[in-house]
Amino acid sequence: MKKVGKPVFFIIVLLIAAMGYLTVAGVTTVYGDSTTRAIKGIDDVRWGIDIRGGVDVTFSPPEGVTATAEEMDAAESIIQVRLVSQNITDSEVYTDHDKNRIIVRFPWKADETEFNPEQAIAELGAMANLTFREGANIGPDGKPAGDTLNKLVLEGKDIESATAVYSTASSASTPEYGVELKLKESGKQKFAEATGRLIGQPISIWMDETLISAPTVRNQINDGIAQITGQFTSQEATDLANKINAGALPFALVTENYNTISPTLGAGAKDAMMMAGAIAFAVVAAIMLVCYRLPGLVAIIALAGQVILMIASITGFFSVFPSFTLTLPGIAGIILAIGFGVDANIITAERIKEELANGRSLDSAVDSGFKRAFSAILDGNVTVIIVAIILMGSFGPPDSLFARILSPLFFMFGTSAAGTIYSFGYTLLIGVLLNLLMGVLASRLMLKSISRQSWARNPALYGGKN
């Protein structure tokens, strides 16, 4: 490696310090009455349910009912609609088709004072009440009002199926996404009468008194097959079809198991984990400084940079890394990644000591020490990277990148552990990658730079003899 300039050490230290400040404080811009978070800080970390407190519940069809994949997707739509209707938007809903179960996690709301988790779980799993109503009159509470409340057209039991389609409707000149409705015999006559009478007017569709669509009647439907169109995207058409199918499900969901975590317990666990991490870092820093002197000091600075960049990758500081929900296992992944960073610096420092003991000059010992240590560091880190990717692919949310890539290999795993093991794998993966950046590259640049300072030329500062 070529010689590194003397200022490089100080430049890297200043960059780490600046990054640390931005990561902790963030950057907020104010324009008139509008406040925008330009760079997210540590206060923007999204804490997981095991820290904020919340509910973790698994639903399944009743005993003796074998639900199809379409019915499970429809049941998932019921839960999502009900969560939103309760103003719970920071939730996780996954469907495990292999085991016919739905995993739901939602945190306590910030202003929650009284909450009955058993009642909330019962409401989420109850049979959906789907209705088609005349008009689209909505009251102040968001529920149907006036004629819309009193004039019912169809109920969920009248719907045979709803399917997302891409076709040409009778009044459209080009194909478009929509939802095709097929009615049972019980609904055909009622729908024919209503659509004949309400041409040019809306028939609104409600799920548990939550409006999900309000299409306008274009012509009378006599055969029990109708299309709902309206400039849908493919996903919007699929979502609407799932919601309508959800209201036609002939069963309610059964609670397989659930657990709740109070905010007090979660916050206490977070504080204990953070304190453990801080103590571990301080002890490691002291040991590195005593045992390895100048390389130990460089290692401490590199570790601090690694931790800062890991926090930044969680808060959403970098646009390529969206804000990430941090759980207790995720914090454990950060601490474990720091351990790998320490290991990389110890291996390098020991190699430098060996080279000095063999009579090499300081510059030659530093060069050779890093070269000899790199293969061992790389082997260990690559192994951990593979494990972290497997964890994320096997236990991650079904729409995550790693889950999509590895799902053919790890289809036998469910998604019930996604919020915990996935968080652990994510922080571990990011931490190990940053270890290669900070613990190898930045450490090498800093140590080669500082070793050119006149006061740092004594081999004793690197574990050799005076």
The confidence score (pLDDT) of residue 19 equals: 92
CA distance 356 to 354: 5
The confidence score (pLDDT) of residue 403 equals: 55
CA atoms within 13 A on the CB side of 301: 23
Mean pLDDT score of the chain, rounded to an integer? 82
The confidence score (pLDDT) of residue 18 equals: 93
Backbone φ, ψ for residue 87 (5° rounding): 65, 30
Closest CA to 413 of 434, 428, 396: 396
- DSSP code string of 374-405: HHHHHHHHHHHHHHHHHHHHHHS-TTSHHHHH
Q: Can you read off the two tokens belonging to residue 329?
A: 């296992």
Q: Residues 79, 59: contact at Cβ < 8 Å?
A: yes
Q: Residues 333, 426: contact at Cβ < 8 Å?
A: yes
Backbone φ, ψ for residue 357 (5° rounding): -65, -25
Percent of the chain scored above 90 by pLDDT? Answer: 17
Right CATH for 49-128+253-260 from 3.40.50.2300, 3.80.10.10, 3.30.70.3400, 3.30.70.580: 3.30.70.3400
Backbone φ, ψ for residue 100 (5° rounding): 50, 60
Lowest-confidence pick of 102-111, 164-173, 382-391? 164-173
Whether pLDDT at 261 is above 90: no
Closest CA to 367 of 444, 289, 290: 444
Mean pLDDT over 144-155 rounds to 90
pTM of the model: 0.65
The confidence score (pLDDT) of residue 197 equals: 92
Backbone φ, ψ for residue 183 (5° rounding): -100, 150
Whether pLDDT at 459 is above 60: yes
Q: Cβ contacts of residue 365 below 8 Å, gap of 6+?
A: 352, 355, 356, 459, 462, 464
SS3 for 264-315 is HHHHHHHHHHHHHHHHHHHHHHHHHHHHHHHHHHHHHHHHHHHHHHHHHHHH
Domain limits, CATH 3.30.1360.200, in the chain: 130-247
pLDDT: which is higher, 113 or 364: 364
Lowest-confidence pick of 72-76, 131-135, 391-395? 391-395
| b/e code 160-194 from CB counts within 10 Å (16+ = b) | bebbbbeeebeeeeeebbbbbbebeeebbebbbeb
Q: Residues 55, 258: contact at Cβ < 8 Å?
A: yes
401: confidence class by pLDDT, cuts 50, 70, 90 = low
Whether pLDDT at 65 is above 90: no
Residue 21's H or E segment, with its range, is helix 8-25
Mean pLDDT over 444-465 rounds to 86
CA distance 330 to 396: 13
363: confidence class by pLDDT, cuts 50, 70, 90 = confident
* Tens digits of residue pLDDT in 180-234: 999 999 899 999 999 999 999 999 999 878 888 899 998 899 998 988 887 788 8
The confidence score (pLDDT) of residue 304 equals: 93
Domain limits, CATH 3.30.70.3400, in the chain: 49-128+253-260
* Tens digits of residue pLDDT in 408-447: 555 555 444 455 677 788 889 999 999 999 988 999 999 9
- State the Rg of the chain over Cα: 30
CA distance 126 to 120: 10
CATH number of this structure's domain 130-247: 3.30.1360.200
Mean pLDDT over 229-244 rounds to 83
Whether pLDDT at 269 is above 90: no
Q: Residues 198, 161: contact at Cβ < 8 Å?
A: no
Mean pLDDT over 151-156 rounds to 89
Alpha helix (H) ranges present in 127-250? 147-150, 185-197, 234-247
Whether pLDDT at 328 is above 70: yes
pLDDT: which is higher, 227 or 168: 227
CA distance 370 to 376: 10
pLDDT: which is higher, 321 or 441: 441
Domain limits, CATH 1.20.1640.10, in the chain: 8-43+262-462
Closest CA to 348 of 457, 436, 460: 436
Beta bridge partners of 29: 36
The confidence score (pLDDT) of residue 75 equals: 84
State the CATH class of domain 8-43+262-462.
mainly alpha
The confidence score (pLDDT) of residue 407 equals: 54
pLDDT: which is higher, 268 or 382: 382
